[in-house]
């Protein structure tokens, strides 16, 4: 009986400490926020007052949800400069009301001048789409990337190195999403009135931190 009680006690003690650690990690984020606010206010007392008035970003960023690819950090931009949407493998689906609403709002109301689709090497979504494994609810999402893979399979499979194949698919995926954006109603309507926005396809390399442009669409010419 005592042994069972000791086991019961150890079990609850384990979960108690686990809960404390989780709370500490979350609390750390709140503390870091306070530190950031303090430092920002020391440098610019009117920063938040000014930021709260309006947003006029020049760019819409459509990137991957990967935690290693923070849009503001890798572009050296500040709050208010990028309008951001992120999902797994930076996919733009024609029936995804979420991303279509983001594009429409950015183009129609914020009047962004540039849309950037940014993929990255080492993308888990890209790697998953290249396999025959099932990932449950993700399968439907990954189908979009699998279709890109099938369309580019001869060039991709001609590469011997698995990493090189995944990197090429990441680039092909970016190009396809740029094309998908160019076909949306928001872009077509905007292009009837002017030549903006321009749509750029970028890729980010986790190994060196550098961005590079791989394609661009400017009405009416395309090099993508």
- Residues annotated as catalytic (active site), given as ranges: 64, 66, 68, 120, 123
**Cα–Cα distance for residue pair 178/172, rounded to 1 Å:** 10
Question: How do 211-218 and 198-204 pair as beta strands?
Answer: antiparallel
């Amino acid at each position: 009986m005592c042994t069972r009680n000791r086991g019961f006690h150890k079990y609850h003690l384990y979960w108690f400490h686990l809960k404390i650690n989780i709370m500490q990690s979350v609390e750390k984020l709140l503390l870091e926020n306070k530190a950031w606010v303090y430092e920002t206010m020391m440098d610019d007392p009117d920063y938040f007052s000014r930021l709260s008035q309006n947003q006029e970003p020049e760019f819409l960023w459509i990137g991957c949800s990967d935690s290693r690819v923070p849009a503001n950090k890798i572009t050296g931009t500040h709050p208010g400069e990028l309008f951001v949407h992120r999902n797994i493998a930076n996919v733009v689906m024609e029936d995804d009301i979420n991303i279509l609403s983001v594009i429409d709002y950015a183009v129609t109301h914020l009047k962004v001048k540039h849309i950037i689709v940014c993929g990255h090497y080492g993308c888990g979504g890209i790697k998953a789409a290249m396999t025959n494994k099932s990932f449950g609810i993700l399968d439907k999402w990954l189908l979009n990337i699998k279709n890109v893979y099938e369309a580019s399979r001869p060039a991709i499979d001609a590469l011997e190195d698995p990493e090189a194949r995944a990197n090429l698919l990441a680039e092909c995926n970016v190009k396809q999403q740029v094309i998908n954006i160019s076909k949306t109603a928001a872009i077509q309507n905007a292009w009837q009135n002017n030549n903006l926005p321009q749509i750029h396809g970028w890729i980010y390399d986790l190994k060196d931190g550098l961005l590079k442009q791989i394609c661009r669409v400017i009405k009416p010419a395309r090099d993508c």
